[in-house]
Amino acid sequence: MNNNEYTPSQFPELALNVLKREEHNISRKQISDNALKVLYRLNGAGFEAYLVGGGVRDLLLGLGPKDFDIATNATPEQIKHLFRNCRLIGRRFRLAHIMFGRDIIEVATFRGHHQEPSKNVSAQSDEGMLLRDNVYGSIDEDAERRDFSINAMYYNISDYSIHDYAGGVEDLEDKLIRLIGDPEVRYREDPVRMLRAIRFAAKLDFDIEEDTAAPIEELAQLLQGIPSARLYEESLKLLQSGYGLETYHLMREYNLFQQMFPTIAEHFTEDYSSPTEQMLDLVFDSTDLRIEDGKRINPAFMFAAMLWYPLNTLADKLMAERKLGHYDAIMEASNIILDAQVKTIAIPRRHTATIREIWQLQLRLPRRNGKRAFRLMELNKFRAGFDFLEMRGEVEEGDTKKLADWWNTFQNAGRNMRQAMTADLEDTGSKTPYRRRRNNRNKKNKPS
């Protein structure tokens, strides 16, 4: 038998526990109207229909679910026949998206085991990773295929009961993240499950159960086989969901962050004291606070901060080896650093363009003489560049901190005060470092 194939014997004996309506705290009032519409229409058409996964988990915990996902025994084609506002997506596993304006209700057909040839439309890599997974089955099989026990609970719209297949209610009470089945097999099947374990642990403030945690560090390198576009989406879920700082530390503990950001990992120290590590703590903490305050966040800012000190280290190396000026070295290093990072995490071009702008502003912000300061403030990305300068000031202190303080005062000053501040720079002979050398094309035509 191929150890990477699913068989029921690989799973623990799943004992169904049914909680009647009076035995749990979930009310239909807490479920979105659109999700209820989908559940009722499926049920009314004679299909099984369950709210499943994170929605059930979060409702039991008293949290507001971000999404309401539904599982059913209807096939994607049958779902599409029932809903005119349905769009079928996915290759790895076909899903139905029911569109209500911007609100999307995701509906999945129950998944089955791979060893059933009549239902099998699946494929795996040699390492056991699922490439396609359109294998349909029963709700019992679907529960076994779920990743974690706390995600294998189903809210039945027909009688408002909860079907708990893997002890999820007990694990919620014990605050445990526990994988269903053999952890090594499940991680090899989909290495992103290691990231999901970390994300749930950080978000819910749960512990990762011992057997679930044991293989992660050794299998972490399997993430290198995950498409970079998928890892980009996962990186945002991990680091920009309001628990980024805790998530980063957990990822690093289990050797996962190192796989996704190898260039950054080169700067890790035992005591977390490098400028890179200080900046990581700052940017993740800042992002978490912004999310808590309901402020907008930009992935480009986070990546610019994360990669800044690796960029500067490489620029210093290029200056020494190729005799480049500082500006040219920074520009060349930015190309190399971003090219290397997008191979692992496919940061979109719109974000890499912003990252470059934020970096370039770090070279321009010291140049405040004359009207330059006024012009810089008019730039679209000035605020992001300044916010990053302030973070650098916390890490580097000294002149960088003084520069950040100057810009903070300048922004909040009146026009007369601003003019006095720039005039003072002229009077004190303030230098403008990082000046780009330009060839004066007219110099040779000037009379001697």
Alpha-carbon gap, residue 361 to 392, rounded angstroms: 13
Q: Is the pLDDT at 312 greater than 90, yes or no?
A: yes
The secondary structure of residue 73, as a DSSP letter, is S
190 catalytic residue (yes or no)? no
Sign of CA dihedral 329, 331, 334, 340: negative
The pLDDT assigned to 14 comes to 76
By DSSP bridging, strand 95-100 and strand 86-89 are antiparallel
Among 9-13, 26-30, 99-103, 338-342, where is mean pLDDT lowest? 9-13
Alpha-carbon gap, residue 40 to 89, rounded angstroms: 22
Whether residue 206 contacts residue 237, with contact meaning beta carbons closer than 8 Å, is answered with no
Q: Which long-range contacts (CB under 8 A, 24 or more apart) does 364-367 make?
A: 364/434, 365/389, 365/403, 365/407, 366/403, 366/432, 366/433, 366/434, 367/432, 367/433, 367/434, 367/435
Rounded to an integer, the average pLDDT of 243-269 is 97
Rounded to an integer, the average pLDDT of 248-255 is 98
> What percent of the chain lies above the pLDDT cut of 90?
81
H helix or E strand, kind and range, residue 106:
strand 103-109
Q: Can you give the pTM of this predicted structure?
A: 0.85
Among 270-279, 353-362, 396-405, 436-445, where is mean pLDDT lowest? 436-445
The catalytically annotated residue of 58, 133, 142, 147 is: 147
**Predicted confidence (pLDDT) per residue in 158-210, tens digit:** 999 999 999 999 999 999 999 999 999 999 999 999 999 999 999 999 999 99
Encoded tokens for 171: 């694990």
Alpha-carbon gap, residue 448 to 86, rounded angstroms: 77
Q: What angle do CA 430, 433, 434 make, to 5 degrees?
A: 160
Alpha-carbon gap, residue 45 to 427, rounded angstroms: 81
Q: Is the pLDDT at 149 greater than 60, yes or no?
A: yes
Which candidate, 195, 184, 193, 248, places its Cα nearest to that of 218?
184
Question: Rounded to 5 degrees, what are φ and ψ at 51?
Answer: -75, 135
Rounded to an integer, the average pLDDT of 77-100 is 91
Whether residue 146 contacts residue 122, with contact meaning beta carbons closer than 8 Å, is answered with no
Among 105-114, 129-138, 257-266, where is mean pLDDT lowest? 129-138
Q: Please state, rounded to an integer, the average pLDDT across all residues of the chain.
A: 89
Whether residue 177 contacts residue 207, with contact meaning beta carbons closer than 8 Å, is answered with yes
The pLDDT assigned to 132 comes to 46
Q: Which long-range contacts (CB under 8 A, 24 or more apart) does 420-423 make?
A: 421/373, 422/368, 422/369, 422/370, 422/371, 422/373, 422/374
The catalytically annotated residue of 58, 69, 133, 288 is: 69
Residue 72 identity (one-letter amino acid): T
In sequence order, what DSSP letters do the residues of 107-160 get, joined into one string?
EEEPB--TT-GGG--EEE-TTS-EEEE--B--HHHHHHHSSBGGG-EEEETTT-
Contact residues for 56 (Cβ-Cβ < 8 A; gap 6+) = 26, 153, 154, 155, 162
H-helix segments, 225-381: 228-239, 244-253, 257-260, 262-265, 275-292, 299-322, 326-344, 349-364, 372-377
67 catalytic residue (yes or no)? yes
The pLDDT assigned to 338 comes to 98
Alpha-carbon gap, residue 416 to 424, rounded angstroms: 12
The pLDDT assigned to 444 comes to 43
Which candidate, 49, 45, 43, places its Cα nearest to that of 69?
49
